[in-house]
Amino acid sequence: NAGVTQTPKFQVLKTGQSMTLQCAQDMNHNSMYWYRQDPGMGLRLIYYSASEGTTDKGEVPNGYNVSRLNKREFSLRLESAAPSQTSVYFCASSEAWLAGGYEQYFGPGTRLTVT
Amino acid sequence: KNQVEQSPQSLIILEGKNCTLQCNYTVSPFSNLRWYKQDTGRGPVSLTIMTFSENTKSNGRYTATLDADTKQSSLHITASQLSDSASYICVVLRTGGFKTIFGAGTRLFVKA
């Protein structure tokens, strides 16, 4: 039982390049999330997927797209990377909606640098 | 504006001592409040989840309190250990959805 896994762990991109961050969970959770964490700030929600087949914008969605490939996998795509997207990205999952008191489990993070 | 403020920003204590971290929030309507521990280079790990009606919740040496009237929460760590060195993050959820508001965290250093 690996929990939430993310690939890659580190990535360096040049401005304008594209890439996809991968996330998978093996807990049969319905809901999945993408956050970014910047120094001195709290984690901010980029996109979430309440259940398989649905995705919704979070607090900071500009410059990102997501795909809920199946119940296990939720990917985050940067179409044209910008230096402002330099951050640590965390994927998370929960059995159901967080307002219902369900635990949220986080992956180990992807550290992305855009030069 | 929905905000979560944590204090202090950082704290240094000696191993074996107790400490208390603070969280004030202005999030409304309130659903639940969570405390997470985040080790350096890792994702956050849940410590406690409290709903509006809960005043106290414990998880081993960690005890969280909630005063929903004053919109304040605290996390008390008893008999600190070196492994408690981490960031502690307070998170508040608004009613009715998935949107979480994270505090910036308190960085705790436990020294031998």
Interval B16-43: pLDDT, tens: 999 999 999 998 888 899 999 999 999 9
Task: Measure the CA–CA gap between A83 and A32, rounded to whole angstroms.
Answer: 26
Using a CB–CB cutoff of 8 Å, tell me whether A104 touches chain B.
Answer: yes
Q: What is the pLDDT along chain A (115 residues), one digit of tens a residue?
A: 689 999 999 999 999 999 999 999 999 999 999 999 998 888 999 999 999 999 999 999 999 999 998 999 999 999 999 999 999 999 999 998 887 789 999 999 999 999 9
Q: What is the mean pLDDT of residues B43-54?
A: 94
Using a CB–CB cutoff of 8 Å, tell me whether B34 touches chain A.
Answer: yes
Three-state secondary structure call for residue B82? helix
Asked whether the beta carbons of residue B100 and residue A98 sit closer than 8 angstroms, the reply is yes
Task: Measure the CA–CA gap between A76 and A2, rounded to whole angstroms.
Answer: 20
- Asked if the model's pLDDT at residue B64 lies above 70, the reply is yes
**A-B contacts at Cβ under 8 angstroms:** 63
Residue of B nearest to A57 (CA): B99
Using a CB–CB cutoff of 8 Å, tell me whether B57 touches chain A.
Answer: no
Q: What is the mean pLDDT of residues B34-62?
A: 95
Query: Are B108 and B7 within 8 A, CB to CB?
Result: no
pLDDT at B97: 63
Asked whether the beta carbons of residue B102 and residue A44 sit closer than 8 angstroms, the reply is yes
- Asked if the model's pLDDT at residue B59 lies above 70, the reply is yes
Residue B24: how many other CB atoms lie within 10 Å: 16
Contacts of B91 in chain A (CB under 8 A): 42
Asked whether the beta carbons of residue A50 and residue B98 sit closer than 8 angstroms, the reply is yes
Using a CB–CB cutoff of 8 Å, tell me whether A19 touches chain B.
Answer: no
Structure tokens at A20: 């996809």
pLDDT at A113: 97
Burial of B62 (0-12, 13-18, 19+ CB in 10 A): middle
Using a CB–CB cutoff of 8 Å, tell me whether A60 touches chain B.
Answer: no
- pLDDT digit string (tens) for B78-98? 999 999 999 999 999 988 666
